[in-house]
A and B are shown apart, each in its own frame.
Chain A
Amino acid sequence: NAGVTQTPKFQVLKTGQSMTLQCAQDMNHNSMYWYRQDPGMGLRLIYYSASEGTTDKGEVPNGYNVSRLNKREFSLRLESAAPSQTSVYFCASSEETDNNEQFFGPGTRLTVL
């Protein structure tokens, strides 16, 4: 099992460019999440998907859109990148249970110039 995979690992964008971050999991989890992590700020939830076909905003959704393509895949799109979106992006998945242990992908390091 690969667990949670993310592509790309690194990306440099210019202000105003768009891109999509891809995430896939092979653990048959219902729930998937996108976080960003900035120095001193911890993990902040951008969007999540409780199950296939549903998505909800998290703490910092502005400037992002998501698509839950199927049970395995959850993508994050930046329509018009801004320098404030320079960050490390993590995708995670979990069973929607009382315990909700999350499993994280390796991350995408994004720089917006």
Chain B
Amino acid sequence: QKEVEQNSGPLSVPEGAIASLNCTYSDRGSQSFFWYRQYSGKSPELIMSIYSNGDKEDGRFTAQLNKASQYVSLLIRDSQPSDSATYLCAVRPSGGSYIPTFGRGTSLIVHP
């Protein structure tokens, strides 16, 4: 069973702070990594994807991938109350399957 693990939270940060969300995965040969944001009562929305080691920045979001340590993280700079949501990590495994495995998500609360 190829697993994707996330701390369920909630992670609570003050407005303006950096929120750091982490995800570990068991399949060392995993190819592609995704972060989805899901507001309460809504569907998941893709916010970042990363495919190679290192950092990838998009606005206030930075995804970090370390394949040797088998973790991927999402940093949200200058957190806003509108960032309060559940963040799902998804990992495309090795072995030919293109279907990602989802973690159970981390709940983020940004308080004013």
Q: Are A105 and B43 in contact (CB under 8 A)?
A: yes
A99, A100, A104: the one within 8 Å of B44 (CB): A104
Question: Contact at A96–B88, with CB atoms within 8 Å?
Answer: no
Of B31, B42, B99, B105, the residue contacting A98 (CB under 8 A) is B31
> Given that A98-B32, A104-B43, A106-B43 are contacting pairs, would A41 and B104 also be in contact in the complex, using a CB cutoff of 8 Å?
yes
Main secondary structure of the interface of B (DSSP, over half): loop
Decide: B99 and A45 in contact? CB cutoff 8 A: yes
Interface residues on A, range: 20 to 34
A-B pair count, CB < 8 Å, reads: 49
**B92-104 interface code vs A (CB 8 A; 1 in, 0 out):** 1000001110111
| A79-102 interface (Cβ within 8 A of B) | 90, 96-102
Query: Interface code B3-20, partner A: CB below 8 Å = 1, 0 otherwise?
Result: 000001000000000000
A45-B99, A90-B44, A100-B92 known; 12 other A-B pairs, CB under 8 Å? A31-B98, A41-B104, A42-B103, A43-B88, A58-B99, A98-B31, A101-B34, A102-B90, A104-B44, A106-B42, A106-B43, A107-B43
Measuring CB to CB, which residues of chain A are less than 8 angstroms from any residue of chain B?
A: 31, 33, 40-43, 45, 48, 58, 90, 96-107
Binding site for A on B (CB under 8 A): 8, 31-32, 34, 42-46, 49, 51, 88, 90, 92, 98-100, 102-105
